[in-house]
Structure 1
């Protein structure tokens, strides 16, 4: 008998690809806001009681930083209270929860990354603050839970999936539209190929419960990554006309130390190599 997975945020970049990959291996209820308002506790309780999921992947969130900063009440209702509703429904139905969090919980830390799970997050955006508050609230509700703090996922458009702004897609769009890219040499983030994460996801259901930093190691800056992508696309000689450095006033480094997850056998290709892998899989190189 197939295990049941309920995934919120099912129409998102991660959710659509996850469902495409595992729809024949699991019984999946893919729900987005049109099917389930996670801020409606009664609706959440009813949906969970009817489906009775073995696992829940809670990926639904308002993740647009500017929107959250401008509308903190709305963001809190979805990102915190909605997550609490999901966790309580998991507890009532014996479902194991995967809560998707973010590297942005470290966005206000003064020291540079990579950050381990033992480092104290200091979020300085409403979205980061919401996610950290939700992490704490959910841990007080559930014991059977994994918190995955994602790095920035990248990938390319595919049939029946959505696309998010990401480093590879942004570069291809700029190149197609004849735009000069403006990238920072003093911004550092983890960059993870979405399919490399999805392919390993069932392993996560087998590891000890807890908080895990999730994704690829990336020593390169945003500028270095853009330079790498353009070079892989055969544009190395044109780099001066395609790419400009536009450094921020302050260095930003929100990279995550993912060695705790690697110790459990969930490992990722370093970002530059993963980007090359993606471009090859889609036959750009």
Structure 2
């Protein structure tokens, strides 16, 4: 199978490396506007050759859009317009409603499958890609009823081979949930990083005193702005609601601290500890 990876960074590169690690016989074509990324992707064995977008799409059995979500917005229609008959188009973007609205009335709509692998790191670029990124992670597929059943089955089979768990849901539901469990986490990390950088002017003090708790909480602040600024814009209404809820909790904590209400502080933390049980259930499931 000829597979085009449009965007040979963390997600696209890991998809290619993961599939290469379990199956032979696929030919991977890379597409990237960054020539240095394309060269590195070939050197790292992520792709077998680089092509321009149009040539790659026309040559492929499967096209994987792994670019920032604002770029996917444009590429979806461009790709569908020239996609060969019986070829499949998927995206790996973190928002879904916009994409599904864009392709809703396209004559080749059934050749598109809307995917979101809940996997990633704070790193970016071809050098960040690795074969096991998707292993045991969740894949969300949206609007499955609008995709050709045979094509859907092929994509599900590929991701199951990558050891992913498959979940189906409407795109609006996906975007609402992902605002809380992913997008809000990144904003919180960015905000913490900014707060510390602004208030702790002595970088040596940050390095000396920051422990593992700070490092793990601020880790996502190292994520690529090129990827995350478009995500927050595209899912703005859901992210805004999530922020309102988060700010409400922060305000409660501030009031409790200002009041010296240790018992209430303890109660809030104890309630928050319930997330441990939820996450343990997810890991076991």
For normalisation by structure 2, the TM-score amounts to: 0.40
For normalisation by structure 1, the TM-score amounts to: 0.40
Q: Which has the higher helix share?
A: 2
Q: Look at both structures and tell me which one has the larger radius of gyration over its CA atoms.
A: 2
